[in-house]
Structure 1
């Protein structure tokens, strides 16, 4: 089928390339000419394992192209995926829908035949229905709006698009053409449905709530184990062993029960805040009041690590050399949006330390956010004459480190494991002062 994808950031570029991989004729649309030019040349403007190969393969096959021309896109297809960002509003918790509205306002008047706009972006509940009204007010033809939320994990985005654990489609069941929308979406995802990927058909509001509810649940699970880690620190218990024991309970599971520095990135933090804001608008803020503490626990982990670094340096960070290993919010990504690692590095610098950061993929993005930090090109360079080493993103390169790797370069053999990803026994046996989160 022919389809378009509006927005070529992390979500949109991945969706466009993967829809072409499924055999569809795809046009990716963006208002940023530089981004469009890069993608058209087969260059992904962010790091995502495996995506560049998919992009280049489908460009070469002629199934994928990119443009800034909305009229070209409007004429190309009847199915228009909406994959633009919905960032947190400045100074507020709510989601900023200006990019979503801009696409609808520009595209709708250009449509010359009945079409559908299928949302992928994470939006506050009620947005899809409002967009349907907005689109039909501006269009000369019939326009349907449906919602097909994404569930991508950075580092696994290609896999999660081509073999998701479920497909969710929200329809406006009050519209006569909802069956037409479902038929087209089923055709687009025919290969996935044939592979027995569960296909869940819902109303618009349910589809919108599925994604934000999933993120809120995961954030709650992460903050729960981090809250327990604070109790472990007060009692001498080991949160890692405790999580292992909890994980054997099939009702709980072990995934996302890793105590440490907490979550970040472009989704979980802003999505749970937008969920709280929208719930308040609906008069249901009491129902998600617990998410405020989830957010607070998560942010508290960052100041905890700063305090640990100060203790490791004798009580003050003023003039200390601090090595920070990791800047991306998670491994296999160059995304530094709301990154706990980079946030900690910045706070430590504000306390008077000389901070040197190394990350395998995220240095350039980090430099744009925190240009005053020092950046290294290797672990050994970052740790040169360090008074304390902080491991804040669990890249394989860091989890594989041994004391002998760092012994020749550091000034003090002190390490803070912000992700509880190192072998504490081995580091202590080698004469290092090791400190983890929630571990004795």
Structure 2
């Protein structure tokens, strides 16, 4: 496994006006598209399969396999939908990617659409990031004018139109079927599956839904070949990815590295935990993944190793919390977010997240007894695996893992009649995470 940074998606982020078509093409941009148009669509799907690319939106499902599920004998139109509704607390990779180099995403959209034989693609972007929406819209316009989009692209006979759609700011629309509901003009709520989107997705037609980073990785695979991509990362988690470091770290930011790099290595690149403090806990994939601690610093950041450690790689949103952070208050803040963002469709999530907040808030105030920890775990157990979608499951992850690793801190709240941490430390945490959504 390569243990150094591997800038591919982020390679031109420091280029002057990197978001323009001129800057992108000056570094070989859209060369992979011309190569792809000379290939058979099935050959492209096979290339992506052989590369080992897995979904970069959290689930880690093999991308080429997902494309292969599209029934080509279905007479209905095929659609590609890019999930750019980045909303997981702590996740910040797709938005800077679209700001810095939207044409990388667009080239991936065109190649992917050609592979699945779609003539219409949608990029669903979180509505609050208006600056990103405008930048991607401008890139789409440039691509049309350059002949990369529209009719008979580069004389290949292939037609493609791309629509940039602004969401309405609902975290639930990061769930792929709720996203489809929003695209169709309805309230964002998850759909019952089956049927799965590959069979009956957008407008009841075969649909592929992929994360921004997944699609943006496709041009490099076509350009360099599946062997090059598979040579990065680990045996089962191949390729590279953008790791977002935030929180109590000296130099937070985006670090693009092969899957399998460790948090210890990333922290060294980021200047370590802020001076005078030590790592207390961290999230490997955003707040909906179980917490890990300093004992997990050397766990490879790949799907298998993080799973074996009891968490999930998720979106590689590495939120770093030092010894000034009250874990109970941090978990309460996250749980309040999930309660607010629950779409209300199913009882376990709608009612369960409300009760989680009530119980956690009482414990944070130092009210109740040790038996309330078991009550809290029982509430999580009644949500986990019983909600309509993964939002409910994600809401329980920080709670159960925090009790596993920091049970004594919950008990300290009870014995102190409130948070035992210095109020100034809580202020640090509050300012560091304010507005995280």
Query: Structure 1 length as normaliser, TM-score?
Result: 0.27
Higher RCO (Cα < 8 Å, 6 or more apart): 2
Structure of larger gyration radius: 1
Query: Structure 2 length as normaliser, TM-score?
Result: 0.28
